[in-house]
Amino acid sequence: YTTVEGYNVQFTAIKFFMEDLRGSTGDSIITESAMYNMEKGNELFEGSGKHLNVVDFHANLGVGPDLNHNDPSAFPLSSPLNILNADDMHWNWDPGYIFVKVEAYLDTIPDGNPLFDHSIVFHVGKDPNLQTISFAGVQWQNLGNGMYHLPLKLDMATFLQNGAQGIDLKTESSCHAAPGQELLTLKIMENFKAAISPL
């Protein structure tokens, strides 16, 4: 990617949780939780259910307070929230999950010499930063054999420049949702939410 400031950026890690994924009616739960990891491919989750119940799609971007502070080793082994699956997406120093993780390297000197020497680390969690995602009228693709696919897009250009709410990676390069980082934390979560859309 090239940022609006003219910096080249290479994303090395993109991970996020979605939790309480629901369909059109309140009781049509798709899955309790899902974790996307760029390093493991492009699938958010696979589950069973009736796709026709999911005309509208609702989820938390992050992990809601009902689950966020539970013991991560107590979740079933099949759960993305189990510590063996969540791995580095759980903070042991401040019990709770990292909702969105973005790591990258930035070349801040646009001189044609690819020197990616400026590291970017965004690890954002904590209950007040939970975001809700909703899509109306989603279009499922029939893959055959009773399988349906809901394609979503993660647009990192939108993440970096969501309208007037851009992230300048040169000056806003690190965030761990710490005190004093509230504005950048909110911008990261709102921009990441805006970057996810149905295809």
pLDDT tens by residue, 129-139? 999 999 999 99
Global pTM reads 0.93
The CA distance from 174 to 137, in Å, is 36
Is the pLDDT at 70 greater than 90? The verdict is: yes
Centre a 10 Å sphere on the Cβ of residue 187 and count the other Cβ atoms it contains: 19
pLDDT tens by residue, 21-66? 888 766 677 888 999 999 998 889 888 888 888 889 999 999 999 9
Alpha-carbon distances of 175 from 31, 162, 178, rounded to whole Å? 29, 18, 7
Tell me, what's the pLDDT at 113?
Answer: 84
Based on DSSP, count helices (H) and strands (E) in the chain, helices before strands: 4, 14
